[in-house]
């Protein structure tokens, strides 16, 4: 075998071993982590430092959640990162992810949390819908009804 034939054979073997993001997704195992749908984990160890699931694509190790998201849901704008709403970095369930800016992703990292971000109602039970919600500059959602009530209380106190 010439060295070129050898290289070609090795590349072909590597390609045969590489499975697509969708196939990885199909091998993922569901775990109930307390969210409305299950987290999905690949049957292999996540990256030891980042905690993200890793797969191999064309001989390169990549974070699994991005290609799986692209294949199952669609393109991710270049300047956005995928935020794990479930806070399980090893989870590859693309429906647990939301493309956000790096800034939002970093801020959300400090515990405001995903599930708060996904809650459908404020603490007093007012709906988080477009009419009743505004986004605080720091990224949290604020209930307008509660905000109006708080302002009214503040004003009354001011007058007394
Ligand atoms: Zn998840
Ligand atoms: Zn409210």
Residues 71-88 have pLDDT tens digits of 988 888 888 899 898 888
* Rounded Cα–Cα distance for residues 71 and 150 (Å): 45
Highest mean pLDDT among 48-57, 94-103, 149-158: 48-57
* Mean pLDDT to the nearest integer, 135-142: 69
Q: Give the environment of ion ligand 1: residues with CB less than 5 A.
A: 39, 86, 88, 91, 93, 96
Terminal alpha carbon distance of the chain: 94
Give the number of the ligand closest to the Cα of residue 53. 1
Residues 52, 64: contact at Cβ < 8 Å?
yes
Alpha helices per DSSP H over 28-143: 65-72, 102-108, 114-118
Integer-rounded Cα radius of gyration of the chain = 22
CA 57 to ligand 1 center in whole angstroms: 22
CATH class of the domain comprising 3-118: alpha beta
**150 alpha carbon to ligand 2 midpoint, in Å?**
10
What pTM value is reported for the model?
0.59
Poorest-confidence range of 16-20, 27-31, 51-55, 74-78? 16-20
Look at residues 72, 68, 71 and name the one whose alpha carbon lies nearest to residue 92.
Answer: 68
Q: What is the pLDDT of residue 17?
A: 66
Q: How far is the C-alpha of 157 from the C-alpha of 151, rounded, in Å?
A: 10
Other beta carbons less than 10 A from residue 24's beta carbon: 22
Q: Which ligand is nearest to the CA of 37?
A: 1
Instruction: Please tell me the least confidently modeled range out of 61-70, 122-131, 143-152.
Output: 122-131
Give the ligand at the shortest distance from the Cα of 90: 1
Q: Please, which pLDDT band fits residue 112 given cuts at 50, 70 and 90? A: very low
pLDDT band at 14; cut points 50, 70, 90: low
Could you tell me where in the chain the CATH 3.90.75.20 domains are found? 3-118
Whole-number Å distance between alpha carbons of 123 and 1: 71
User: Residue 82: nearest ligand to its CA?
Assistant: 1
In the reported structure, the alpha carbon of residue 36 is separated from the centroid of ligand 2 by a whole-number distance in angstroms of: 22
What is the C-alpha to C-alpha distance for residues 154 and 6, in angstroms, rounded to an integer?
78
Q: Which of 10, 29, 18, 94 is nearest to 55 (CA)?
A: 18
* 114-138: average pLDDT: 73
């Amino acid at each position: 075998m010439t060295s070129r034939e050898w290289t070609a054979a090795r590349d072909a073997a590597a390609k045969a071993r590489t499975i697509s993001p969708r196939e990885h997704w199909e091998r993922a195992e569901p775990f109930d982590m307390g969210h409305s749908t299950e987290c999905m984990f690949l049957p292999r160890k996540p990256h030891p430092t980042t905690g993200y699931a890793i797969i191999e694509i064309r001989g390169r190790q990549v974070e699994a959640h991005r290609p799986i998201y692209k294949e199952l849901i669609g393109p991710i704008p270049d300047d956005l990162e995928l935020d794990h709403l479930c806070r399980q970095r090893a989870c590859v369930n693309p429906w647990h992810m939301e493309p956000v800016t790096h800034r939002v992703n970093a801020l959300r990292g400090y515990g405001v949390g995903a599930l708060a971000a996904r809650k459908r109602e404020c603490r007093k039970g007012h709906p988080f819908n477009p009419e009743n919600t505004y986004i605080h500059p720091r990224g949290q959602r604020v209930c307008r009804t509660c905000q109006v009530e708080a302002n009214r209380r503040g004003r009354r106190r001011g007058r007394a």
